[in-house]
Structures are given as structure tokens and as C-alpha cells.
């Protein structure tokens, strides 16, 4: 039974409906794994944040957000990439079903948090994309890590992949508004607006650098 069948129950026979219910349970179990993966990593991040607070050191984490992709969003991404629409395909081909976004005060904090996580031996780094050192053409900046985290179930250990995005407050401000302006607009974004958004990203990046310089001069970092 494929994921797409979840949106066509009224067209299914009784046998297919039984298969669908079984697939629905399997999907629910898989979503539970990703939720567990998010909880595992968020717990680690919370501990690192608490450690900084208790030690009196500046906290490298301002806030943490998380999300699970919806089945409809998963199907759309599988279709766009030309992958089969199935639960197995979802597990094998998508690394961002479960996602965590860590917002940091300063640029250096991003790499501090990433390094602290990578020192934990139950996490495995699957992929790393540094859009801070190498911004996307539209001006997007962030550090992306795909982490494999083991989920300990009653009868087995199941590894899952979780996408971790690390940004400064300023990077998150730009990315959130850029997404809202570009993808929630009823009109196609003209080229000069894309140039304006890129210019805003560059100004924000320069501000990030300047705020970090000031923090170092004041011995905050």
C-alpha cells in the first residue's frame, strides 16, 4: 500500500481498506520514530544549554524549534525527486522528515553547538552543508547537519535521520520572512525583488559579523 492511498479511501475496496489501515499503523509507528529522534536530540541540546547556564558561561543556544513533515508534504517531496511513493522509500530517501532548528545568538555559537553534539558518541554525522561559509545564491545562510540517532525500542534499536539547522537570530529572521514573501505570495517573485532579498541577506550577514566583533571586544564570546 502506498502513501498516496491515504488520500483516496473512498475509492478502495474492503480488502484495500484493511491494507490501508495496516499501512496507517505503520506510518504512525514511523512518525513515532522521528518524534523520538527529535526528543533525543532536543534533550541533548537542553542539557548543553543548562550546563552553560549553571556554569555562568554565555548560552550558545537562544531557542529550539522542531517539526515533523506531514504525509502530504512527504509525498510531494518524493514525487519532485522521482522516488517511489512508499513508506520504505520515505525512510530511505528523505533525511528531513524530522527537523530541529537551533537559533543561536552569534555565528561562532553555531559551530560551538555543532561541535558539542558531534562529541557525543551515540550520534553519527551523515551529511553536513555549510551555507554560512558558502551561502545559497538567494542569500540563505545556515549550517545543516543530518544526524543519525539510535532509537531504543522494546525489541530492537532503530536508527533514524534527523535534520538539524543551526542559524543565528538574524539568519532566522531573514529566512523566515524570505520564505513567507517568496512562497506565500500569490504572484511570481520578479527578478528585482529576488535581488532585493539577496541584498537584505548580505546586510544581515554583515550585521551578524559586526555584532560578533562587538561581543568579542566586550569579552562576551
- pLDDT tens track for 75-96: 889 889 999 888 888 888 999 9
Q: Is residue 45 within 8 Å of residue 102, measured between CB atoms?
A: yes
Burial readout 168-183 (b: 16 or more C-beta within 10 A, e: otherwise) = bebbbebbeebeeeee
What's the pLDDT score for residue 1? Answer: 45
Is a pLDDT exceeding 60 seen at residue 97?
Answer: yes
User: Cell for 83?
Assistant: 522516488
Cα distance between residue 192 and residue 140, in whole Å: 17
For residue 214, the model assigns a pLDDT of 97
Say what the pLDDT of residue 63 is.
96
Q: Look at 40-54, 78-92, 129-143, 190-204 and tell me which has the smallest mean pLDDT.
A: 78-92
What is the dihedral sign for C-alpha 144, 148, 150, 156?
positive
Q: What is the pLDDT of residue 20?
A: 54
Residue 15's pLDDT band (boundaries 50, 70, 90)?
A: low
pLDDT in tens, 27-48: 888 899 999 999 999 999 999 9
Question: What's the rounded mean pLDDT across residues 159-176?
Answer: 97
How far is residue 88 from each of residues 37, 99, 107, 208, measured CA to CA in Å?
A: 18, 19, 37, 41
The proportion of the chain whose per-residue pLDDT surpasses 90, expressed as a percent, equals 69
The per-residue pLDDT for 136 is 96
Residue 69 DSSP one-character state:
-
Q: How confident is residue 221, by pLDDT bands cut at 50, 70 and 90? A: confident
pTM: 0.85
Low-confidence winner among 97-101, 143-147, 178-182 (lowest mean pLDDT): 178-182
Amino acid at each position: 500500500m502506498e502513501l498516496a492511498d491515504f488520500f483516496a479511501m473512498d475509492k478502495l475496496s474492503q480488502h484495500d481498506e484493511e491494507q490501508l489501515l495496516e499501512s496507517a499503523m505503520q506510518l504512525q509507528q514511523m512518525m513515532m520514530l522521528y518524534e523520538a529522534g527529535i526528543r533525543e536530540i532536543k534533550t541533548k541540546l537542553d542539557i548543553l544549554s543548562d550546563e552553560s547556564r549553571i556554569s555562568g558561561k554565555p548560552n550558545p543556544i537562544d531557542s529550539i524549534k522542531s517539526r515533523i513533515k506531514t504525509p502530504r508534504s512527504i509525498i510531494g517531496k518524493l514525487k519532485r525527486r522521482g522516488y517511489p511513493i512508499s513508506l520504505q522509500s520515505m525512510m530511505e530517501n528523505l533525511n528531513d522528515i524530522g527537523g530541529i532548528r537551533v537559533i543561536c545568538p552569534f555565528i561562532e555559537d553555531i559551530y560551538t553547538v555543532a561541535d558539542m553534539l558531534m562529541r557525543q558518541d551515540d550520534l553519527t554525522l551523515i551529511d553536513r552543508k555549510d551555507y554560512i561559509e558558502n551561502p545559497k545564491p538567494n542569500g540563505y545562510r545556515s549550517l545543516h547537519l543530518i544526524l543519525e540517532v539510535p532509537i531504543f525500542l522494546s525489541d530492537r534499536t532503530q536508527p533514524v535521520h534527523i535534520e538539524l539547522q543551526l542559524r543565528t537570530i538574524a539568519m532566522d529572521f531573514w529566512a523566515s520572512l524570505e520564505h513567507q514573501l517568496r512562497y506565500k505570495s500569490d504572484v511570481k517573485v520578479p527578478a528585482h525583488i529576488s535581488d532585493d532579498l539577496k541584498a537584505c541577506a548580505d546586510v544581515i550577514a554583515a550585521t551578524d559579523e559586526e555584532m560578533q566583533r562587538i561581543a568579542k571586544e566586550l569579552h562576551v564570546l
